[in-house]
Chain A
Amino acid sequence: MSHGSQELECRELTNGLRINLLPERSLPLVSVNLWYHVGSKNETAGRTGLAHLFEHMLFQGSENVGTNDHFRWVQQAGGVANGSTWYDRTNYFETLPAHQLGLGLWLESDRMGFLLPGLDEDKLETQRQVVMNERRERVDNQPYGAAMERLNELLYPVGHPYRWPVIGYMDDIAAASLDEVRAFFSTYYTPANAVLSLVGDFLVEEAWDLVESYFGDLPWCAAPQRLESHDVHIPRAPGESRAILPDRVALARLYAGYRVPGVGTSAWYTADVLAELLAGGKASPLYRDLVHDRQLAQDVSAYVLPMELEATFLLVATARPGVDPADIERRIETHLDRVGEHGPEEADLDRATNTILTSIASRSQTFDRKADLLSEYTTYFDDPTRLESDADRYRAVGTEDVKSLLGDFLAADRCAAVTVVPAEAD
């Protein structure tokens, strides 16, 4: 949706920090959102999980902010804060009462410019333990938790930076050293490798003055070399595309993955439409066939992940008790073949497009989400105005685009599949 009468203002500091300012007066709030163009894909095999562990260290204090005081300052001001790590980026964000914008900028500039004095071995050891528990909670003690790791190992060959999990392998997390953390900061946490977006109740020039005073004197430093798709487009070796994974689960589940072009390409938008078209909602053909009519599956879902260099397209279905997941897989293939050959039903394409357009209207309700998208589109495409043109990119997806995507990227021999099955009782 439009931003009402408010205009997006995009500027850059001499140190290379790019800034988006979007006034939004409907509530007395402001979102401060910072993206650093570094994620797990910048790690190396054997040293995984560093980007995410590092995100934790950014909440452990800096020169002028004490240990844990980041959350303390934000929460006592009546705000919420967090950060997250992805294959391609790490983001940090707080939404505050609008009159506390200065606080958000003070906190973010202090850890961008003055983090190293705050780091020590004790803090790192605590966060190693916290992250190892996070990994247990999300992966190791979670039914089906290992499936995506296994699938990525099948989809992305040795040498490909999407091969390892964002949270990292347990042994690597345990081994991360303070020197590595320091080097990571110096290489990647520089103004020229970051984007700052503000959305909220402020006047542009007043906000700009604050941004300039807090970030303007941070030194310039060359941005790290950017990884490009052609650097890593390593094809999958044949003959290693399927795995059976026994786990403590009651119901078998199929994970089928494909590699499609990265976020922002027209093929990626098509893949997003295809996912909605195939399995979004009860009117979708996969739900209709697998869950409702044949009752082979307990649930089915499809999505494409927002990954930069290339992206994972996923189909996931949980089998009903006693159902062979291979039967589900064959039905899914049949649907993909049909859509690939004849194109989607017009009603399905309309439904998918309309659903996505509604979700675009819905996501623009929250200041945090808007600020995050401005940072994303600036980081990946140097074009924050994509926030406005997204709807048109989805509307442009047609029958032929869907057919081409299926033909070019979703053929059966490009599929990697992991089937999680109930482990035999001891």
Chain B
Amino acid sequence: MATHPALDRSQPPSPEAARSFSFPRFESHRIEPGLRVLLAPIHRTPLVDIRLLTQAGAQFDSAPNAGLAHLVSAVQDEGTQSRTADQIARAIEQLGGYLSTGVNWETAAVSCGVLAEHLDTALDLVNDVAAQASFPEAEVDRLESQIVAEIERRRTQPSALANLHFARAVFGDGVYGRRIIGSAETVMRFERQHLAEFHKNHFSARGATLIICGDIDPDILLPRLEHLCAAWPVLEPPALPSFHHRELEGIEITIVDRPDAPQTELRLGHVGLSRHHPDYIPAAVMNCLLGGRFMSRININLREKHGYTYGAGSSFAKRSGAGPFVVSTAVGTEHTAAAATEILREIERLQREAVEEVELAETKSYLLGTFPYSTQTLEGVTARLYDLAVFELPDDYYSTYEDSIRSVDMADVQRCAQTHLSTDRIAIVAVGPVTELGPALERLGPVRSVPATSS
């Protein structure tokens, strides 16, 4: 190795100059009768990724109909005016592609991925499933019992139990206190006509967005899309529900009893902020520093300093209403109270002390550096365009995103911690053995205990 000067291993080499990154170019159109279209031509792979979004998410379910939006979406690809469930599945899978349907709080989505040469077939199927779903009675019955079985299954899953009871503790009977999937009681009551009616009241060109990323030519594609949605109905956008939450009266602790469980699933948190809140970006930077990455304070404290857990993290939910801020981890049961105390201490420290400049710089650098990483795949680009459409971000959002991150300063972080986090009004949910957890957690606040089998 004579050609190399003596190597200094004591520190890393100085990096070269950073190379610039631009978010993939995309076009934004509105076509008759009101459909929004986002097209990102990306030719790195021979694939296309299609996502059709309608304003038919679970937030539009009324309380007695919890789970209806989810069921409608689940049955949508199980039969249309012209195709049976099997014909839909064969038509796309024979080409090596996939088609799936799903809902979150805001939207119902029909998703499809396939080689670009089959784009026409894929669009035809997406249109058929979204616009012409027929909700066959037999398929409705089958999916209802399948969903009820899934609800049963989640009752034995410690992390799902923790999430469910945490949502109830924070949101009570508010929208986000329900389950998207519904409950056994609501789901079994739905009839075919409930589904058809929901679809009729929510499927609309206005308010819908079609995202297509991949090996496409927008100039050729656009006229085809105009033809595709020409006959879609147009409805007034549905009214948003009111997103209320419970007013926590202090540290409220719920133990979901799983006798003899070898580990405790732990959640701590309270209501957070909406995706539309002006603090969303500084709060995201603050969260990244607190619990949003491996080097975050909470993970290093609980995992690397104390060995309490395999991992711990925190997040603000990205929703149109104010969703939860939650810290999640699974800890050795004997360390549950100590872990909760450490988490509260980290939140309190972030509110009290200004962060070090270097720690904030590292956090921002992580968020900036992983931005291009998140756009490697078509699905990654689609996810970014999804946010643009659903949360009504400006079209230049991703060209200014890096500057928005850079501009967050130490004062913003501390202000967000003080405004959007709390240690004295906070819900704690622990799924584990109450005989061990009860005495330990009582030192933190009043404890309520429920059996894991309760619904």
Q: Report if A77-B15 is in contact (Cβ < 8 Å); known contacts: A64-B9, A125-B307, A365-B44.
A: yes
CA distance A250 to B156 in the complex (A): 6
Q: Report if A282-B369 is in contact (Cβ < 8 Å); known contacts: A143-B156, A367-B376.
A: no
Interface 9-mer from A219-227, A352-360, A378-386, A405-413: A352-360
Measured between beta carbons, the chain A residues less than 8 angstroms from B90 are 283, 347, 351
Interface membership of chain B positions 299-321, coded 1 if the CB is closer than 8 angstroms to chain A and 0 otherwise: 01001111111100000000000
CA distance A25 to B412 in the complex (A): 37
Q: Is there contact, CB below 8 Å, between A354 and B375?
A: no
Q: Is there contact, CB below 8 Å, between B96 and A103?
A: no
**Chain A positions 73-131 with a Cβ under 8 Å from a chain B Cβ:** 73, 75-80, 95-100, 102-103, 106-107, 109-110, 114, 125-131
CA distance A298 to B148 in the complex (A): 10
Q: Is there contact, CB below 8 Å, between B94 and A77?
A: no
Q: Report if A141-B142 is in contact (Cβ < 8 Å); known contacts: A365-B44, A367-B376.
A: no
Residue in B45, B85, B303 whose beta carbon sits within 8 Å of that of A365 in the complex: B45
CA distance A280 to B92 in the complex (A): 12
Q: Report if A75-B293 is in contact (Cβ < 8 Å); known contacts: A283-B89, A295-B142.
A: yes
**Chain B positions 231-263 with a Cβ under 8 Å from a chain A Cβ:** 258-259, 261-263
Closest to B296 in A: A75
CA distance A71 to B368 in the complex (A): 16
B139 to nearest A CB, angstroms? 9
Is A136 close to B, CB under 8 A? Answer: yes
Measured between beta carbons, the chain A residues less than 8 angstroms from B93 are 280-284, 351, 355
Is B67 close to A, CB under 8 A? Answer: no
CA distance A360 to B1 in the complex (A): 39
Measured between beta carbons, the chain B residues less than 8 angstroms from A103 are 12-13, 15
Q: Is there contact, CB below 8 Å, between A366 and B12?
A: no
B12 to nearest A CB, angstroms? 4
Q: Report if A283-B115 is in contact (Cβ < 8 Å); known contacts: A27-B21, A298-B153.
A: no
Interface membership of chain A positions 276-311, coded 1 if the CB is closer than 8 angstroms to chain B and 0 otherwise: 000011111000100110010010000000000000
Closest to B372 in A: A27
Interface membership of chain B positions 75-113, coded 1 if the CB is closer than 8 angstroms to chain A and 0 otherwise: 000000000011011100111111000000000000001
Residue in B21, B96, B152 whose beta carbon sits within 8 Å of that of A28 in the complex: B21
Is A249 close to B, CB under 8 A? Answer: yes
Residue in B7, B10, B44, B330 whose beta carbon sits within 8 Å of that of A136 in the complex: B330
Q: Is there contact, CB below 8 Å, between A126 and B45?
A: no
Interface 9-mer from A175-183, A210-218, A266-274: A210-218
Measured between beta carbons, the chain B residues less than 8 angstroms from A73 are 12
Residue in A133, A209, A250 whose beta carbon sits within 8 Å of that of B155 in the complex: A250
Interface membership of chain B positions 263-279, coded 1 if the CB is closer than 8 angstroms to chain A and 0 otherwise: 10100000000000000
Closest to B77 in A: A282
Is A364 close to B, CB under 8 A? Answer: yes
Q: Report if A29-B372 is in contact (Cβ < 8 Å); known contacts: A71-B294, A354-B96.
A: yes
Q: Is there contact, CB below 8 Å, between B366 and A75?
A: yes
Residue in B4, B45, B98, B369 whose beta carbon sits within 8 Å of that of A96 in the complex: B369
Q: Is there contact, CB below 8 Å, between B44 and A26?
A: yes
Q: Is there contact, CB below 8 Å, between B156 and A1?
A: no
CA distance A102 to B7 in the complex (A): 12
Measured between beta carbons, the chain A residues less than 8 angstroms from B362 are 72, 75-76
Measured between beta carbons, the chain B residues less than 8 angstroms from A97 are 18-19, 369, 372
Residue in A141, A213, A249, A364 whose beta carbon sits within 8 Å of that of B263 in the complex: A141
Measured between beta carbons, the chain B residues less than 8 angstroms from A72 are 295, 362
Measured between beta carbons, the chain A residues less than 8 angstroms from B19 are 28, 97-99, 201
Q: Is there contact, CB below 8 Å, between A281 and B9?
A: no
Q: Report if A99-B21 is in contact (Cβ < 8 Å); known contacts: A27-B375, A136-B262, A281-B89.
A: no
Q: Is there contact, CB below 8 Å, between A358 and B115?
A: yes
Measured between beta carbons, the chain B residues less than 8 angstroms from A109 are 9
Q: Is there contact, CB below 8 Å, between A248 and B156?
A: yes
User: Which residues of chain B have a CB within 8 Å of any CB of chain A?
Assistant: 1, 4, 7, 9-21, 44-47, 85-86, 88-90, 93-98, 113-115, 142, 145-146, 149-150, 152-153, 155-158, 258-259, 261-263, 265, 293-295, 300, 303-310, 330-332, 361-362, 365-366, 368-370, 372-373, 375-378
Chosen A-B contacts, 20 in total, with CB atoms closer than 8 Å, are A27-B375, A64-B10, A75-B293, A75-B366, A76-B366, A78-B368, A78-B369, A96-B369, A100-B15, A109-B9, A127-B307, A136-B263, A216-B4, A281-B98, A291-B146, A320-B146, A351-B96, A355-B97, A362-B47, A365-B45
Not counting A248-B156, A321-B152, a sample of 7 additional A-B residue pairs whose C-beta atoms are within 8 angstroms of each other reads: A64-B11, A77-B15, A212-B4, A216-B1, A291-B146, A358-B114, A362-B377
